[in-house]
A and B are shown apart, each in its own frame.
With several copies, the nearest count.
Chain A
Amino acid sequence: MNEENLAKIQAIAEAALLAAGKPLTLDQLRELFAEDERPARQVMEHVMMLVGNACEGRGFELRKVASGYRLQIREEFAPWVSRLFEEKPQRYSRALLETLALIAYRQPITRGEIEDIRGVAVSSNIIRTLLEREWVRIVGHRDVPGRPAMYATTRQFLDYFNLSGLTELPPLSEIRDLEEIGREIEKNIQAEIEFDSTSAQPTGDNTSDQTFH
C-alpha cells in the first residue's frame, strides 16, 4: 500500500463520514470499496488514525463511539456553533437521568427494581421518553409474576454521550458493605477521626456493576 493510495483511501473515508452524518464501522467503510480495491482491516484502522490526525487543529475531530467512527464538532467550538440552532439543548429531569443511570449501570433492570433503589415511583412518561429516544430498550422479561420488562441501554445511548462502550461510563462511587460500616462506625466513635473512604480493598460491588455485553 503506497502513500498515494493511502491518501486516497483517507480522503474517501473522510468524505464518507461527512456524507453519512452518523457513525460508520470499519467494515462499513471498507465496503465502500470494490472487492479488488478493498483495504484490509489493519490498513483501514491505520487510515482512521490518519483521518484523526488530519483533524488536528481543525473545527472537527474523529471520535470512536459505540456504533463506529464519527466526525463531530470539537467541544471547544460548541459555544459558537450552537448559535446556529434556535433551540436550546434539551435539559433532562433528574428523575429521567437517575432512571437512565440505573438502567445504564444496573442493566438489565426492571422498573420495580429502579423504584426500589430510587425510593419513588418511576413515571411511565420517563420510560416512554427513554424508549422513544432509543436510549433504552426492552431486552426481556423477568420470570416473576407480572413478567416485568427488563431494560438495557442501546448503542444510540452510548453514541449520544460520546461513549464507545459501557466501560467508559464514569465509575460508580464505592459503597461500603454493612459489616464494614459497623466496624467503621465503631472506629470513628473511638478515634473521633474524620472518616474518609480510603479502604483500598475492592468491594466487589463495583465489578459486578460493570458486567455488560
Chain B
Amino acid sequence: MSGKEVVDLPNDLYIPPDALAVFLEAFEGPLDLLLYLIRRQNMDILDIDVSEITRQYMEYIGAVEVMRFELAAEYLVMAATLAEIKSRMLLPRHEAEEDDEVDPRAELIRRLQQYERFKKAAEDIDALPRMERETFTVSASLPKLPSNQAHPDVEMRDLLLALQGVLSRADLFTSHHVERERLSTRERMSAILSLLRDDQFVTFQSLFTIEEGRLGVVVTFLATLELVKEQLIEVVQAEVLGQIHVRARAAR
C-alpha cells in the first residue's frame, strides 16, 4: 500500500525503502541523524540552515512512519523542536535587540556540538589499542611451585584458652589429677619414649643424664614410673642386682 509513497521519498535521502530499517538502526537518535544531515549538506554546525534541515528531517521521519517502523519518541520530540526553532527564525529580528536576543538555534547547536564531541570520543576509545584485539596478555606455564600453605599464627593465649575450654567441660580431668603430674615429668616421658624406638632394650642407666643433676634424675625417675604405670614401657632385670633394661611395650 505504501509503494507509491515510498517512491515519493525525497531523492536526496538516497535510501532504498528496504534499507530504511537498517538506516534507522544506524542512527543513535535524533541528534545523530541531524548531525548526519548537516554533514551531508556540508553545513557549518554553527550556522545551520534550520528550514532546510527541518525539511529533510521531517521527510526522513515521514518516510519511516510510512514504512510503519517504530520510531523512538525522541525523534518526534526533536521534530517538534525543529519546527519551533524554524518558526522563531521567521520572526523579524530587531537590530536593537540583537545583543540580548538569543539565537533560536543556540540550544540546538549546543546540544549537537556536545553530542558530536562524545560521538567522537566514543570513536577515539574504540580506536585505542585494546586487549584481545591489538594486544594479548602473556603467560608462561608455571614450574613446580613449593607448597604454599601459609601457616596460621597461633598465640599462646589461644592455646591456653582452648585448654581451659576443655578443662571446664571434662569432669574427669580434675585439676588434682593433672596437676600432680608435673609437666616436666610428662615432657620427659615423651623424651624417653622417643628414645625407645626400635623395640630394642636400652639400659635403665642410659635414660639418665648426669649433667642434669639431682633434679634431672628425679624427673627421669618419675617419668619412668609413670610410663610403667601407664604400661607404656616394660622394665626387665634378668638377674638379681643385674642390669635393668627398659623397652617400649609397643614400639613403632
- Which residues on A are within 8 Å of B, measured CB to CB? 15, 17-19, 21-22, 60, 70-75, 77-79, 81-83, 85-92, 94-95, 97-98, 100-102, 104-108, 116-121, 133, 137-144, 147, 150, 152-153, 159-163, 165-167, 169-176, 178-179, 181-182, 184-186, 188-189, 193, 195, 202, 204, 212-213
B194 at the interface (CB under 8 A from A): yes
Q: A78-B144, A101-B166, A117-B172 are in contact. Are A143 and B132 (CB under 8 A)?
A: no
- Chain A residues whose CB sits within 8 angstroms of the CB of B249 once the complex forms: 142-143
12 A-B pairs (CB sep. < 8 Å): A21-B138, A72-B131, A94-B28, A98-B166, A107-B190, A117-B115, A120-B72, A140-B251, A141-B251, A142-B249, A152-B194, A161-B130
Residue-wise interface mask of B (115-130) relative to A, using a CB-CB cutoff of 8 A (1 in contact, 0 not): 1111111111110111
* Residues of chain A within 8 A of B109, CB atoms compared: 178, 181
Q: Flag whether B66 is at the interface (Cβ < 8 A).
A: no
**Minimal beta-carbon separation of B127 from chain A (angstroms):** 8
Q: A160 touches which one: B130, B166, B175 (CB < 8 A)?
A: B130
Nearest A residue (CB) for B77: A119
Q: Is B161 a contact partner of A172 (Cβ separation < 8 A)? A: no
Report yes or no: A22 in contact with B232, Cβ–Cβ below 8 A. no
Interface centre among B31, B160, B250 (most CB of A within 10 A): B160
B231 touches A (CB below 8 Å): yes
Q: How far is B232's CA from A185's CA once the two chains are assembled, in angstroms?
A: 38
* B103 interface residue (CB < 8 Å to A): yes
Number of A-B contacts (CB under 8 A): 338
Contact A95 B28 (CB under 8 A): yes
Closest partner residue, chain B, to A174 (CB atom):
B117
Please state if A166 and B184 are interface contacts (CB–CB under 8 Å). yes
The answer, among B103, B124, B190, for a CB contact under 8 Å with A182, is B103
Interface centre among A138, A162, A181, by most chain B C-beta atoms within 10 angstroms, is A181
B159, A117: Cβ atoms closer than 8 Å:
no
Closest CB in chain A relative to B246 CB, distance in Å: 12
- In the complex, B145 has a CB within 8 A of chain A: yes
Residues of A within 8 A of B93 (CB): none
Binary CB contact string for chain B from 144 to 177 against chain A (1 if under 8 A, 0 otherwise)? 1110111111101111111111111110110100
Q: Would you call A163 and B183 a contact (CB within 8 A)?
A: no
Q: In the complex, what's the smallest C-beta–C-beta distance from A176 to chain B, in angstroms?
A: 6
Neighbouring A residues of B159 by C-beta, 8 Å = 97, 100-101, 104, 161
**Interface pair B152/A173, CB less than 8 Å apart:** no
Residues on B with beta carbons closer than 8 Å to the beta carbon of A163: 128
A161 CA / B153 CA spacing, docked (Å): 10
Name the one of B44, B141, B163 contacting A72, with C-beta atoms under 8 angstroms.
B141
The residues of A that contact B169 with a CB separation of less than 8 Å are 118-119, 202, 204
Chain B hits for A143, CB < 8 A = 231-232, 249-250
From B103, B139, B146, contact of A78 by CB (8 A): B146
- State which size class the interface on B falls in: 35 or more
In the assembled complex, which residues on chain A have CB atoms less than 8 Å from the CB atom of B173? 117
B106 engages A178 (CB within 8 Å): yes
With A94-B122, A143-B231, A185-B157 as known contacts, state yes or no: A72 contacts B140, CB within 8 Å: yes
Given contacts A72-B136, A101-B163, contact A140 B194 (CB under 8 A): yes
Q: When the two chains form their complex, are residues B111 and A92 in contact, meaning their CB atoms are under 8 A apart? A: no
Which residues on A sit within 8 Å (CB–CB) of B124? 101, 169-170
Q: A176-B175, A188-B46 are in contact. Are A152 and B125 (CB under 8 A)?
A: no
Q: Given A94-B122, A173-B175, A182-B164, 16 more contacts at CB 8 Å? A: A18-B138, A21-B137, A73-B137, A82-B136, A92-B126, A94-B119, A98-B165, A105-B183, A116-B172, A140-B194, A163-B128, A169-B121, A172-B167, A178-B160, A178-B164, A202-B169
Judge whether B186 is part of the interface by a CB distance below 8 angstroms. yes
Known: A73-B135, A140-B193, A140-B196. A117 touches B166 (CB 8 A): yes
Judge whether B17 is part of the interface by a CB distance below 8 angstroms. Answer: no
The answer to whether B165 and A119 have CB atoms under 8 Å apart is no
